[in-house]
Structures are given as C-alpha cells and as structure tokens.
Amino acid sequence: MAVTSTPVLPGLPALPDPAAEAVLGSGLLEELSYAFGGPFHFLLPDAFDRNLAALRAVLAEAGLDGQVYYAKKANKAAVWVERCAEHGAGVDVASAGELREALGHGVRGEDLVVTGPAKNPELLRLAVRQGALIAVDSLDELDTVVMTALGGRARPARVLLRVLPAAQPHSRFGLTGDELEAALHRCAKAGPALRTEGFSFHLSGYDIQARADVAGTAIGLCLRARALGLEADRISVGGGLPISYTDAASWQEFLGTQHSGHYHARKSFGTGDFYPYHSRVSGAGALRALLAAHPEGHDRALADLLRESGTALLLEPGRALLDRAGGSVFRIQGVKERAGYLLLTVDGTSLSLSEQWFASEYLPDPRLISPDADRTGVARTEVRTEDRTGVRTEARSGAAEGPAGAHRAAVGAATCLESDMLSWRKITFPRRPRDGDLLVYPNTAGYQMDSNESPFHDLPLPPKVVIDHTDRPRPRWRLDRHFH
C-alpha cells in the first residue's frame, strides 16, 4: 500500500536547545544505542544547574529569603540529587526510599522536606531524626510526629502544616480551616518537641493567580500562628511552575486543529487532556509572575507581603528544574504501512514516556536520526526548519524523500498490548523512518522517564546516562549510577 502525499499535520517542534543539539550532532546517541542495545535516557545536568540558578536569582531579585527543594518524584536519577547537594539546594521526598537516596547522595537532613499524605512511621522517624522539614497533612499525622519527636528525644520535629486550598476543596491533601485552627493549638501545646515553621500547599494545575491567592492565605496563617507563640516564618508554595516545550503559535495551531483523524486508530483526546505544552510565562519567569501577583484581598504583590511579614518562600519544583535536562532514545525495530500513515514499533514501551499515566500523550515531536549514516556513507542531510517565531532548528537525517507530509507515523511499543503507544499522534517526519533508525524524544527529564517504568515482558528498564559537554569538543558520558 503506497503512503500517499497528504497535508502536513500540525507538529509540536521542541524549542531550540543548543545543548541537546550538540549531543544530537556528536554521534554519541547512535553509539550509546549500539552499546545498550535498547532504549535509554540521557541527562544534561548543566540544564538543571541553570534552572536552579535562575529560580534562585528571582528570589534574590525580589529580596526574599527562600529555599528551592527539588521534587524528587519528577525523575529518579541520582545526578539531580548530587547537583542539589553540590549547590546547597533542598530535596522534596515522599517516601523512606527517596529520603535514603537523598541522604546517600550527600543532601543534608535539614535540607529535606517530606511531603505526601499519611506518611508511614519509618519515614516520620527518619525525618525527625534527620532534622527534615515535614509537611503535615492531617491532625493524626501531627500527633504521630509529636509522639515520634518525644519518643526519639533527639531533636524537635520541624513541621509545616499543609493547607487544603479553598479553590480545590476536593483535593485529598491538606487540612481544612477548622483542622488548621485545631492543629495550631496542638502545636502550641507540644512545646519544645515541635518547631512549627509555617504552612505549605501544592495546587494541581498551573494557574499563577490561584497560587498567589493560597500563598496570601498561608502568610495570614503564619501571622495567626505567631500570635500563638509559634515560629511560623516560612511558607511552601509546592511545585507547579509550568514550562514551555514548544512555541506559542505551534501550540495554538495544534489545539485548534487536532482531531481524531490525526491519531492512530482514530483515538481522540480533548484539548484539556494535554499538559499545557506552551505557557506565556514559564520556569523562573513563572516564579517572577507569581511574586508580582496580588493575592486575593491584598493590594500588594506577593513578594511585598512576604518581605514585609518576614516570611521566607520555599518552592518544590520538579518539572521546572528539569526543563531541557535530557531526552529519551528509542530504536525503531519495525515499520508497517497503514492507510495514509506508517506504524512504527520501537524497542521500548510507553511506560518510559509517562504522560500515558494521565490518559494523555507526550506531544513534543521526536527527532529521527539514522545510526547507519556515518558507517555506510549514506548522505546525512541537514534538514533545517523554521517555526512560526522564526526560530531555526536543524535536524540531521538521511536524504529527505517525497513530498512534505508524506511520512507520517504513529509510534507503538514492543509489547503485545494494543494500547501501548508512545505516540498515537501521526507525527510528520522529514523522511520515511526505517528499521534501525533512532527516535529521540526531547525534553523528557521531567516526569516522562521513569514515573511509570516497569520491566513488562522482562524488557530491561532503560539505563540513564549523564552527559558532560562542558568545555569539551566531544561530549563524554557515564552511567547515572556507578555499579560496584
């Protein structure tokens, strides 16, 4: 069956990323794919360092005390925690395993914040003993923390009280207004066993004004707690700083035109099913916008309220610290023709590209590269494309063949499950994908790599390699964990 020439479907080109381009251009990914014989993830720790520095710069610019805690759930690699230890940043952990990992990679106990609901006793014991900050999620948990601190006799337990945001009353996290009032009295009664350092919250979604509103409430709660003699000099606004994967025009066009005909098996997605792959403000810019927002009921910016009340700002970003900090590489091991598009099978599963968890799809366009090009001498053409913002990206590929839009393909996994698709979307490639080619999904470090990973079918979990390309002509690499 011939694949006919069809219009180019809306794509989601990744934003330009010189560091990732340098890796793509070096030939290293082809070598690693050969070495591992399966899918793998690559990590770019310099991007993590830059993102951390940019968030800290915004706090400094606003004259605020604060701490950035990396939300460890967003990616399990050791290298991020090592970077936190190196830079004195904190880590947000939600299990005893994550806490042990953070300590084992050099983060000090007092630089940890422990989040999550109904934490198990082992986690609470470790947290108290290590001097970690504990975001308390219920009155029962508060009692357990106090008992743990009294029993341990080592040091007071450091706590934040987690607020149930009025805007998300159905959230299963946080304490209601009445529970907070009761908690404050229990904290005051607990005496030196407890240090009530402030309040925390985390909102689903990416609405900046909504975060500013809850932050305003949390500052008010600090003042109330101080009146009861408690320390309460900090608030944590959790994570949820959005990042942009693609440009505004591509995202708008995609949202405005996508329909079931653009997906394998006529799968349909509502526009609200997707992560917002473009945000007007993102990363450190989103933090700046949050600090400039006026919380409901206040005529002052959040930054002013924090400064004037002597309240420090804690953040728990996951995705925003991992922006452009890595990619995921799969090898194509089968190509089938379907009516008007190709069906690719790669050597891994959608569990290594985890947006599927949210019944959604990871949308940024993967890049197609040919590992054989160098060895066989087949021409590697530079395919240059320009997005609507005039930004140029370069893709190395084999010779472009056929009319634009001819090479559309959805991407399936190497499993026997119909629904195990890495990309239901028919992606337009600059040439026909072939067996042995590599697909490089960009910017996958935040949540995509390992949130859902599973050795289903006894397939090995993709290894992670850390790439160092600072001041060197050719990038070098190591495994994320050195095996003994």
Ligand X SMILES: Cc1ncc(COP(=O)(O)O)c(C=O)c1O
Residues at the contact surface with ligand X, assessed by CB under 6 A: 71, 74, 92, 115, 202, 238-241, 316-320
* β-bridge partners, 439: 330, 368
CB of 206 to ligand X, least distance (A): 8
CB of 73 to ligand X, least distance (A): 6
Q: How far is CA 218 from CA 59, 94, 170, 193, in A?
A: 18, 22, 19, 23
Contact yes or no for 7/379 (Cβ under 8 A): no
Q: What is d(CA 443, CA 328) in angstroms, rounded to the nearest whole number?
A: 8
Residue 220: how many other CB atoms lie within 10 Å: 16
Task: Indicate the residue among 30 and 355 with the shorter CB distance to ligand X.
Answer: 355
Output b/e per residue, 56-79; b: 16+ Cβ within 10 A: bebbeebebebbbbbbbbbbbbbb
DSSP element (H, E) containing 380: strand 380-386
Which structure tokens are listed for 3?
């694949």
CB of 241 to ligand X, least distance (A): 6
Task: Indicate the residue among 71 and 332 with the shorter CB distance to ligand X.
Answer: 71
Q: What is d(CA 57, CA 427) in angstroms, rounded to the nearest whole number?
A: 38
Q: DSSP characters for 195-254?
A: EEEEEE---SS--HHHHHHHHHHHHHHHHHHHHTT----EEE--S-----SS-HHHHHHH
CB of 358 to ligand X, least distance (A): 12
**Kindly report the CA angle at 107 between 106 and 111, in degrees rounded to 5?**
165
CB of 355 to ligand X, least distance (A): 13
CB of 202 to ligand X, least distance (A): 4
Task: Indicate the residue among 165 and 430 with the shorter CB distance to ligand X.
Answer: 165
Contact yes or no for 128/152 (Cβ under 8 A): yes
CB of 269 to ligand X, least distance (A): 21
Q: Is 347 exposed, middle or buried (0-12, 13-18, 19+ CB in 10 A)?
A: buried
* β-bridge partners, 393: 385
Q: What is d(CA 307, CA 424) in angstroms, rounded to the nearest whole number?
A: 48
Task: Indicate the residue among 241 and 413 with the shorter CB distance to ligand X.
Answer: 241
Q: Is 344 exposed, middle or buried (0-12, 13-18, 19+ CB in 10 A)?
A: buried
CB of 42 to ligand X, least distance (A): 20
CB of 470 to ligand X, least distance (A): 26
Task: Indicate the residue among 90 and 348 with the shorter CB distance to ligand X.
Answer: 90
CB of 299 to ligand X, least distance (A): 29
Q: What is d(CA 412, CA 424) in angstroms, rounded to the nearest whole number?
A: 8
